[in-house]
Structure 1
Amino acid sequence: MFIIVVGGGKLGTYLARALLEAHHEVVVVEKIERKAQVLAQTLNAEIAQVGDGCDPLVLEEAGAGRADVVIADTGDDEDNLVICLVTKKRFSKPRTIARVNNPKNKQIFEELGIDSVVSGTEIVMKMVAEEVNRARV
């Protein structure tokens, strides 16, 4: 599959590495040029593209027209929503996955048609609750 990851932070880097190891074609869009360079060096691959993932032209240059999946993984929920909505409206085909930093935003993303919404906070909260409950037994 061809997958675009928007956001080249720690999570985006780990995600890109895992996707590459699973033999997917990956492009990472990162606003900050230095971060994009570090990402390319870290992964030993020329997969980073510098640009604002909220910009339809940047997404187009990254290959959104042929992408199977676009993952919005920035630290900003509003940017992640815009990235997914632009992808849906402009390119129609790709499946969209968004990370939400504030769990309160998850429902809004889902109501607006984002295919998959992931809240790291919710995941960690559930895991901690499970461990606490397991400790009681």
Structure 2
Amino acid sequence: MYIIVVGCSRVGITLAQSLESEGHNVVVIDRNRENLQRLGRSFSGITVVGNGFSPEILKEAGVERADALIAVTDNDNANIVTAQVAKKMFDLEKVFARIYDPARAQTYQKLGVHAVSETALVVDSLRQLLFEK
């Protein structure tokens, strides 16, 4: 698959490296060139400096041929705008957004964006561990 990852935080880096190791073509977009350098020399994918919600930056990243886009910046609003641009302007079907505020998940779902709440995942995992027998 040709996958665009927007946001080069720890999650973005780990996700991009994992996807690449599975044989996928990966493009990582981040506003900060230094963040992209943290991918390391072993990362052979493409890196693009810029805002992931910019149509021009998405075109540079190859959104027209992408199979999926995953927005994992540290900003819920940036993630949803990026996801909306990918869905509405480029008709990309597989669009995912990381969110911190689980209350926003339903809103994102209504917009056709698969939202993953980091907060909800951590809470669920901790509760499972707590009550594990």
Question: Structure 2-normalised TM-score?
Answer: 0.94
Q: Which residue does the alignment assign to 2:21?
A: 21
Gaps of 5+ in 2: none
Deviations 1:111-137 (A, max 9, x none): 1111x2111111111111112222xx5
- Residues 49-68 of structure 1 aligned to structure 2 (within 5 Å): 49-68=48-67
User: What is the CA-CA distance between 1:46 and the residue it aligns to?
Assistant: 4.8
Distance 1:62 1:109 in 2: 23
1:113 is paired with a residue whose SS is coil
Distance 2:93 2:67 in 1: 5
Does the CA-based 8 Å contact 1:72-1:80 persist in structure 2?
A: yes
Q: Which residue does the alignment assign to 1:38?
A: 38
Distance 2:32 2:67 in 1: 25
Whichever residue aligns with residue 62 of structure 1, its letter is: A
After superposition, the Cα gap between the structure-2 partners of 1:64 and 1:85, relative to the gap in structure 1 and judged at 3 Å, is same
Distance 1:95 1:35 in 2: 25
Distance 2:101 2:41 in 1: 29
Number of aligned residue pairs: give it: 133
Whichever residue aligns with residue 104 of structure 1, its letter is: A
Whichever residue aligns with residue 7 of structure 1, its letter is: G
Whichever residue aligns with residue 14 of structure 2, its letter is: Y
2:38 is paired with a residue whose SS is helix
User: What is the CA-CA distance between 1:72 and the residue it aligns to?
Assistant: 0.4
Deviations 1:83-116 (A, max 9, x none): 00000111103410110011111111111111x2
User: What is the CA-CA distance between 1:36 and the residue it aligns to?
Assistant: 1.6
Distance 2:3 2:28 in 1: 9
Cα RMSD for the two superposed structures: 1.3
Does the CA-based 8 Å contact 1:6-1:12 persist in structure 2?
A: yes
2:16 is paired with a residue whose SS is helix
After the TM superposition, which parts of structure 1 deviate over 4 Å for at least 4 consecutive aligned residues? none
After superposition, the Cα gap between the structure-2 partners of 1:10 and 1:43, relative to the gap in structure 1 and judged at 3 Å, is farther
Question: Structure 1-normalised TM-score?
Answer: 0.91
Q: Which residue does the alignment assign to 1:128?
A: 126
Gaps of 5+ in 1: none
Does the CA-based 8 Å contact 2:17-2:43 persist in structure 1?
A: no
The percent identity for this pair of structures is 36
Is the radius of gyration larger for structure 1 or structure 2?
1
